[in-house]
Every structure is written in C-alpha cells, then in structure tokens.
C-alpha cells in the first residue's frame, strides 16, 4: 500500500477544482487519520465542490445538510416513528448515518443541533431516547463556515471545535488559476465529467490507515509535539508578547492530532518515518481553532496563525 494508491482520488478532486492544493492535502490527511475537517472561506471558493468530489472518489454514501437556524436535532440523527400495524415505535435514521457528511454553513445552527452533531463526531454514535445507535465505521464530517458573515450565525462551542481534527482555510485563487476556472467551467458545461469508474474502496482506505498508524514516530518527536502544545498553555515562558496574546491553549487532543496528522503527512510524502518538518506542516491547521486569543491580541491584529508560527520558531526541535 503506497501513496500512489491515493493518486486517483487526488486526480478526481483536481479535475473538479483548480488550485487549492493545501486544502486537498488537508482533506486527504483527515481521511487517512480518521478525523473531521472544518473548512473556512468566503462563498464561491469551491469548498462544497471539493467535498463532493472527495465523496465521489471514495466508496460510501454521501449526504449534504444545509444548516439553518430552524434545524432540529432530529433532522440530523433521525427519529422514532410509530407504526400502527406493529403497535410499536421504529427508528428512522437521519443523515448522520452516511459515510461522508457535508455540514454546509455549520455555524448557522443553534446549540441544540450542535450538541447532536458533537456526539456523532466524538463517539461515532448517536442517542435517541434510551437507545444508542453506532454510526458507520467510515464516518467523516466536513463542515464549512463563512468567516465574515455574522447575521443569523452562532459561535461554534469550543468543545465542538476541539472535535475537528483540522481547520483548513480556503483563500482566493490567483489570476492564472481564475482563468483556468473559467476554462474548466466552460468545459464542464459542454461535457460534464462522470464520476470515477472505481472509487477507492473502504477496505483499501482502512488498510491505508493501518499503514499510516504504523509509520515510525521517534520518541524525541513525541516530546517535541508535547512541548509545542505545552507552549500554547504557557507561552510567556518563550516570549512575553505571546503570553499577552493567548487566553487558553490547546488540549491534549491537539497532541494526539499532531501525531496522527504528522504520520499521515509523512505517508503522503512517501517517507518511511516522521520528521520535524511534517509536524510543522500540519501544526497551523491543528492549532488555529484550538487557541483562544486575548482582546489585546485582536486589537493588535494578531491572528492564531501568526501566534502558531512564532511558537514554531521558538520551540526547540530535538
């Protein structure tokens, strides 16, 4: 099992969108690490298109949910239906029982809906009444949110943000990429591209995950990962400014995520072991949604990405 086995998946996604190579890598890393991905970007940057392309390239069921303020938890998890013929209730599963779930504009739903999604993401199960139902072995949530629109939106709870393995940021294309986007759209209007003939089977994906989990990670790099996460909790030990800017650091889930994603990044690169630069490559997307900055940092225009980059420059590499 080699990274070349994922080439058809990457090629299919690349046939649907132009550029956004880092975003595609983030989706593949989450897929290999059995994690969920939060995607943030302005409307019209192909976030939904990329997620649909990933779902087409992997064997399994796909479902898209448009989150709105009037959404109910039962709209996600399903509900018990009373059957007069049998004289008993029967559970009708909701969209969460699909393999790949696109939660579009996830921050538009209220807290009670977020709590229903939280159990599914954290435990791979849902609870209705007194019964608990397991979700499919392959279960991946890719959620999108608009970073600027505030009306009719809800702030995602920190507990839910922590359940997302990574947060990817989608940026505007370059001029050359936008010209290619116009050409691709014209081509798709004339000749719609069919889905891949043979999607990646779940059995192959699970075998890839096993290879990723077995990739060698030196104990010294485990110490480096822990030092990075500990530094988010005590940044003043490295720089007084960093101490002023951070209210709360990352949880131990960040350490687990760094180890998992660094292995996946190294495997995608075709390397036989994890190196420090693999950890540094995935660190911004793992830490950016797990840090809470102070009002002072926001007033000075400091972003979580800038905070993480300064930490990476200060924490010693073994």
Q: Are 80 and 89 in contact (CB under 8 A)?
A: yes
Pairwise CA distance, residues 141 & 117, whole Å = 9
Determine what percent of the chain is predicted with pLDDT higher than 70: 97
Position 152 scores a pLDDT of: 60
Say yes or no to pLDDT of 292 above 80. Answer: yes
Confidence of residue 225 (pLDDT cuts 50, 70, 90): very high
Q: Which residue has the tokens 């393995």?
A: 165
Q: Are 167 and 289 in contact (CB under 8 A)?
A: yes
Domains in the chain, start-ordered, CATH in brackets?
3-190 (3.40.50.300), 215-314 (1.10.8.80)
Position 30 scores a pLDDT of: 95
Cα 189 vs. chain centroid, distance in angstroms? 30
pLDDT digits (tens, 9 = 90+) for 142-196: 998 877 666 667 777 777 788 899 999 998 988 998 998 898 888 888 877 766 7
DSSP state of 149: -
pLDDT digits (tens, 9 = 90+) for 32-80: 999 999 998 888 888 888 988 999 899 988 999 988 888 888 888 888 8
Position 36 scores a pLDDT of: 94
Say yes or no to pLDDT of 316 above 90. Answer: no
pLDDT digits (tens, 9 = 90+) for 7-17: 889 988 888 88
Query: Nearest CA to 157 among 127, 129, 131, 122?
Result: 122
Q: Residue 67: CB partners within 8 Å, gap ≥ 6?
A: 103, 104, 105, 106, 107, 108, 109, 113
Pairwise CA distance, residues 131 & 306, whole Å = 45
Q: Which residue has the tokens 């940026």?
A: 171
Pairwise CA distance, residues 263 & 260, whole Å = 5
Confidence of residue 266 (pLDDT cuts 50, 70, 90): very high
For residue 273, the cross-strand partners are 216
Say yes or no to pLDDT of 241 above 70. Answer: yes
As a whole number, the mean pLDDT across the chain is 88
Query: Nearest CA to 274 among 286, 284, 264?
Result: 264
Position 149 scores a pLDDT of: 62
Tell me what the mean pLDDT of segment 260-285 comes to. 94
The overall pTM is greater than 0.85: yes
Which pair of structure tokens corresponds to residue 150? 């505030």
Say yes or no to pLDDT of 122 above 70. Answer: yes
Work out whether the CA dihedral 293, 243, 309, 118 comes out positive or negative.
Answer: negative
Of 2-6, 61-65, 141-145, 296-300, which range is least confident? 2-6
Position 192 scores a pLDDT of: 72
Confidence of residue 252 (pLDDT cuts 50, 70, 90): very high
Q: Residue 243: CB partners within 8 Å, gap ≥ 6?
A: 234, 235, 236, 237
């Amino acid at each position: 099992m080699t990274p070349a086995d994922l080439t058809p998946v990457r090629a299919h996604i690349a046939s649907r969108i132009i550029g956004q190579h880092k975003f595609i890598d983030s989706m593949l890393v989450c897929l290999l690490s059995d994690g969920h991905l939060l995607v943030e970007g302005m409307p019209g940057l192909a976030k939904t298109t990329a997620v649909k392309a990933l779902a087409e390239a992997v064997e399994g069921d796909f479902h898209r949910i448009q989150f709105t303020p009037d959404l109910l938890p039962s709209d996600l998890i399903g509900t018990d239906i009373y059957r007069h013929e049998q004289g008993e209730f029967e559970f009708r599963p909701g969209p969460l029982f699909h393999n790949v779930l696109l939660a579009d504009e996830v921050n538009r739903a209220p807290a009670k809906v977020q709590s229903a999604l939280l159990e599914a993401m954290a435990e791979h199960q849902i609870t209705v009444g007194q019964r608990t139902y397991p979700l499919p072995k392959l279960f991946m949530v890719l959620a999108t949110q608009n970073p600027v629109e505030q009306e009719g939106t809800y702030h995602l709870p920190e507990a839910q943000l922590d359940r997302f393995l990574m947060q990817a940021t989608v940026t505007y294309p370059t001029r050359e990429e936008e010209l290619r986007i116009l050409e691709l759209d014209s081509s798709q209007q004339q000749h719609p591209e069919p889905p891949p003939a043979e999607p990646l089977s779940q059995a192959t994906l699970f075998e890839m995950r096993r290879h990723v989990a077995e990739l060698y990670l030196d104990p010294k790099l485990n110490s480096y990962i822990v030092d990075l996460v500990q530094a988010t909790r005590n940044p003043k030990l490295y720089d007084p400014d960093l101490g002023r800017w951070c209210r709360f650091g990352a949880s131990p889930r960040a350490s687990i995520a760094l180890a998992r994603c660094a292995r996946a990044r190294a495997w995608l690169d075709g390397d036989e072991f994890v190196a420090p630069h693999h950890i540094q490559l995935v660190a911004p997307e793992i830490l950016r949604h797990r840090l809470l900055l102070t009002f002072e940092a926001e007033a000075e225009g400091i972003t979580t990405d800038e905070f993480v980059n300064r930490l990476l420059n200060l924490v010693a590499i073994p």
